[in-house]
């Protein structure tokens, strides 16, 4: 269904999706107030050179997977939103190097976000849905969720923990590639945290193993491995173009179909290893 070869697709992602964190030089963030809040070090300086990385989706199919040890064997592990590790180590591991969160969580669930120890581990990154190819200024005036105050409150409480804001430009650069490689029209909503996280890790790591983004034989309507809630849309997508994301990731998989079936595991090369 994708139009480009896997090799060309990887090159497009590498060359057209500019994964950066908001910096002091980004327009409205240049004020003296923001200087105190944005981390001084860049993300790549903070994480260093990463070899093998794991991206752990929050899917219900992780339940009873016993993938914990395998996930923890990676140099770095990315998790999403409020996905817990305590009580679920056997299935999802215990290492958290980066946690990517949407702005809704940080804003609507601010009290839990500021209180729960879950968030105190690893590097935090928050992203917010921006208007299609909007300039930073336009987005800053009218974010989807106004998470800026909550971000500042967290930074005041935990000034030592690295906490970045994802530059919103990347979501539409990635969406364009999703659309170009799909035969159907895709809803104009940004990619899921899962897809953003996969591309983020491809910029930081030599190799990225993604778990239960493409569902294994354990596929289920249970939304998350940590909740009892059932909803088919969690796996197939509603707001996010999740199905198109999954097709694209399947197309680029360098692992085996057997690994998808048994481990829900896809292996992607880091952009450093991609030669165009
Ligand atoms: O559910 P969510 O996603 O936090 O999951 C993180 C990523 O894992 C992948 N996933 C999840 C469940 C599933 N059955 N299959 C999957 O493949 C997806 O790639 C997903 O992105 C989000 O993307 O940020 C999302 O966030 C939640 C919610 O806001 C947070 O969990 C915070 O509470 C959204 N749910 C709702 O708004 C009700 C979800 O749509 C997208």
DSSP string, the chain: --SS-HHHHHHHHHHH----B--TTSGGGGSHHHHHHS-SS-HHHHH--EEEEEEE--BGGGTT---HHHHHTSSEEEEETT---TT-HHHH-S--SEEEEEHHHHHHTHHHHHH-GGGGSSEEEEE---STT--HHHHHHS-SS--HHHHHHHHHH-TTS-EEEB-THHHHHHHHHHHHT-SSPPPSSPPPHHHHHHHHHHHHEEEEEEESSS--TT--SB-BTT---B-THHHH-SSS-HHHHHHHHHHH--S-HHHHHHH-EEEEE-GGG---
Residue 2 has pLDDT above 90, yes or no: no
Q: Quick: pLDDT tens for 22-79.
A: 999 999 999 999 999 999 999 999 999 999 999 999 999 999 999 999 999 999 999 9
Q: Quick: pLDDT tens for 106-131.
A: 999 999 999 999 999 999 999 999 99
Find the 125 Cα to ligand 1 centroid distance in Å.
Answer: 15
> Which atom of ligand 1 sits closest to the CA of residue 246?
17
> Which atom of ligand 1 sits closest to the CA of residue 238?
40
Give ipTM to 2 decimals: 0.99
Q: Quick: pLDDT tens for 193-248.
A: 999 999 999 999 999 999 999 999 999 999 999 999 999 889 888 889 999 999 99
pLDDT at 1: 54
Find the 192 Cα to ligand 1 centroid distance in Å.
Answer: 7
Protein residue closest via CA to atom 3 of ligand 1 = 193
């Amino acid at each position: 269904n994708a139009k480009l070869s896997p090799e060309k697709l990887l090159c497009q992602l590498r060359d057209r999706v500019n994964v950066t964190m908001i910096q002091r030089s980004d327009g409205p963030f240049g004020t003296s107030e923001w200087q105190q809040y944005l981390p001084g070090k860049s993300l790549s300086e903070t994480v260093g050179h990463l070899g093998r990385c794991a991206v752990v989706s929050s899917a219900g199919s992780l339940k009873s997977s016993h993938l914990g040890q395998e996930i923890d064997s990676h140099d770095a592990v990315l998790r999403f939103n409020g996905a817990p590790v305590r009580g679920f180590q056997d299935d999802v591991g215990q290492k958290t190097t980066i946690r990517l969160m949407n702005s809704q969580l940080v804003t609507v669930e601010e009290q839990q976000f500021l209180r729960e120890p879950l968030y105190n581990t690893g590097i935090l990154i928050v992203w917010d849905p921006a208007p299609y190819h909007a300039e930073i200024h336009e987005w800053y005036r009218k974010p989807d969720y106004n998470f800026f105050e909550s971000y500042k409150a967290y930074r005041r409480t935990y000034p030592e923990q690295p906490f970045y804001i994802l530059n919103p430009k990347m979501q539409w650069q990635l969406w364009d590639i999703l659309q170009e490689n799909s035969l159907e029209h895709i809803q104009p909503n940004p990619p899921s945290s899962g897809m953003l996280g996969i591309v983020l890790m491809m910029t930081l790591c030599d190799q990225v193993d993604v778990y239960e983004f493409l569902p294994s034989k354990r596929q289920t309507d249970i939304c998350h491995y940590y909740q009892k809630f059932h909803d088919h849309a969690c796996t197939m997508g509603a707001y996010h173009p999740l199905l198109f994301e999954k097709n694209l990731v399947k197309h680029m998989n360098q692992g085996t179909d057997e690994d998808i079936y048994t481990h829900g595991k896809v292996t992607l090369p880091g952009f450093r290893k991609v030669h165009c």
